[in-house]
Structure 1
Amino acid sequence: MKKEEYSYIIVESYKPKNTSGLHGEIHIKPIAGQEPFTEDMHVRCSKDLSTKFDVGTKFKIKAIITNKDGGKPFIHSHYTWPFEVLK
């Protein structure tokens, strides 16, 4: 498998309709039009994005798609990395 590169992407906070199997009430997802980063992918990143800003806030993060332990692919951005809040 080819080693993927990190990319800067735009994500937003949202409240999923179904939280079964998810942790917490507010989650982060990529905005549309950033393939291969799709809106249905989970994003693992700093909890600050989901706890310190209003739902619907958009952020620019540095991220990569991974499938740790062979599971469903998800987006990873290290929790200590800086992020940009977009207006």
Structure 2
Amino acid sequence: MEEYDHILVESFITHERGKHGLVHIRPLPNQEPYTTDMYVQCSKTMSNDFPVGTKFRIKAKIIYPENKKPFVSTHYTWKYEVLKD
């Protein structure tokens, strides 16, 4: 069985070329090897149904695709926790 970690992520606005949509999810700082320049593949409800800047706790792992930038992945059907400030 593959190892997953519980990490903290947030929604944010990106203008990076090639990304679909304006709002995406990224890890919060100080969670190495999860870094803030990684994108999170997750349920679209996290980016569509909550205000930008919302923080979540998810269960995830890093995916290392060949010849592409690593990204964070959690299954879109898995539960996530919405964090309060």
Secondary structure in 1 matching 2:21:
coil
- 1:4 Cα deviation from its structure 2 partner: 5.7
Secondary structure in 2 matching 1:49:
helix
1:79 paired residue number: 76
Counting only pairs closer than 5 Å after superposition, residues 9-48 of structure 1 correspond to structure 2 as: 9-16=7-14, 18-48=15-45
* TM superposition score normalised by structure 2: 0.92
In 2, Cα distance between equivalents of 1:4 and 1:36: 16
In 2, Cα distance between equivalents of 1:66 and 1:52: 25
Taking only aligned residues, the RMSD between alpha carbons, in angstroms, comes to 1.3
Structure 1 stretches lacking a partner, 5+ long? none
* TM superposition score normalised by structure 1: 0.90
| 1:67 equivalent among 47, 64, 67 | 64
Letter in 2 for 1:72: K
Q: Give every structure 1 segment of 4 or more consecutive aligned residues whose post-TM-superposition deviation is greater than 3 Å.
A: none
Secondary structure in 1 matching 2:18:
coil
In 2, Cα distance between equivalents of 1:86 and 1:4: 26
